[in-house]
Structure 1
């Protein structure tokens, strides 16, 4: 079985499934395997659910990339052959290094920023609701007052990130590295109910919403 076939199998799809089918299968499996659906007193199943989520996220990410390339190959209109000239330039590749960039107040809702390097970027007040940020590097980033409602931050690097007064309701930070992050005043609860997924997250030294430093 090829690596590509394995990713389809992870999402319980037949090889060659469409991007729409990939996205739907991803949503269905995340719903089934989300740690919130597993009893808290069953650490074995909690660990298994987290491993499943990692595999599901990786499969979706790889198949989205593959489907995007396939559509470019098969659906791009033919272009007339031109003799190369000195002025011909290669289109820039998708920029994965966004470190230090200014995205303050930007609308990044529903974007796929997985795997990007956004360390020390300014995302203060940005709308990141429903944004896919699997394995994103947000080390030292300014996310103060950002809207991270239902954002997928699985395995994100958020060390020393500024999350003061950020909206984290519904966000998934499973396996994220939050060491030294500042969450003062961040929204993570509704009443006494915690509404942020923090399964396996590293919170050592993080300043929690109530100002207490997590040990």
Structure 2
């Protein structure tokens, strides 16, 4: 149980933290490059500015986590719960977000270029100014989503695909 710990700036690259309890943990600026966080509990964790490039975050609970400016490039976030997470300015280039739950998440100015969002839940998600270039949006569920151009998915035929 590593909950409520302070790992600010710590090098945890390639660490095996699968199924770890990291709830409310401070990982600001930590190096988690290539780390295995499969199934971990990161609810309300602070990962602002952390490097999670290539990390395995599949089936991880990141509900209400702070990921401002985090590097999640090429990370596996498949089936992750990112409900109410804050990913403002995060780098999600090439990330796998298939089947991810982004209910109420904030992705303002996030870069999702080349990401996989197949069957992701984007209900109430804020995507203002997010880069969704070459993103696979097959099967995405849009409800009251704020599109990158500031329009609402409900006013665009329940999609943001033409408002990127």
Q: TM-score, normalised by structure 1?
A: 0.54
Q: Is 1:213 matched up with 2:143?
A: no
Distance 2:57 2:77 in 1: 5
Match of 2:90 among 131, 146, 150: 146
Partner of residue 60, structure 2: 116
- Structure 1: unaligned runs, 5 residues or longer: 1-91, 190-194
Structure that is richer in helix per residue: 1
Partner of residue 141, structure 2: 202
Whether contact under 8 Å (2:19, 2:41) holds in the other structure is no
Deviation at 1:94, TM superposition (A): 2.9
Whether contact under 8 Å (2:20, 2:41) holds in the other structure is no
Partner of residue 17, structure 1: none
Length, aligned pairs only: 119
What pairs with 1:146-185 in structure 2 (closer than 5 Å)? Answer: 146-185=90-129
Deviation at 1:93, TM superposition (A): 5.8
Partner of residue 129, structure 1: 73
Distance 1:173 1:131 in 2: 13
Whether contact under 8 Å (2:68, 2:87) holds in the other structure is yes
Deviation at 1:153, TM superposition (A): 0.5
Partner of residue 19, structure 1: none
| SS, match of residue 171 in structure 1 | coil
| SS, match of residue 90 in structure 2 | coil
Moved beyond 6 Å, runs of 4+: none
Distance 1:114 1:155 in 2: 10
Match of 2:42 among 98, 108, 116: 98
